[in-house]
Structure 1
Amino acid sequence: MTTPTATPVLPVPAVEGACEMCPHALRAHDAISLRFCAATRAAAITRGCVCPA
């Protein structure tokens, strides 16, 4: 039996450099923030922000 692998889903910027899920620029995201915003987008949920900015 094979183990399925997940494909990471990153936030897609609405405007160059802007995060679609929070008010911060993508460059302000660390690895945790990118993952958090990607999960927020994938699950289509509304929640706070964890960006270090």
Structure 2
Amino acid sequence: MSLVTIILNILLPPLAVFMNHGLGTTFLISVLLTLLAWLPGVIHAFIVNG
């Protein structure tokens, strides 16, 4: 995992997921989790991009 991916996972989780997986269910889940609360979105981004 690159430093850029780690920074994006923390600051903009949906963007990090989009850059690695494109538009799809994983991206939508990331957006929903980030909108509900920021921390679940970050955790999901690290798991998906890990």
Is TM (by shorter chain) over 0.5? no
Larger Rg: 1
Which interval holds the TM-score relative to the shorter structure?
0.3 to 0.5
Q: Which has the higher helix share?
A: 2
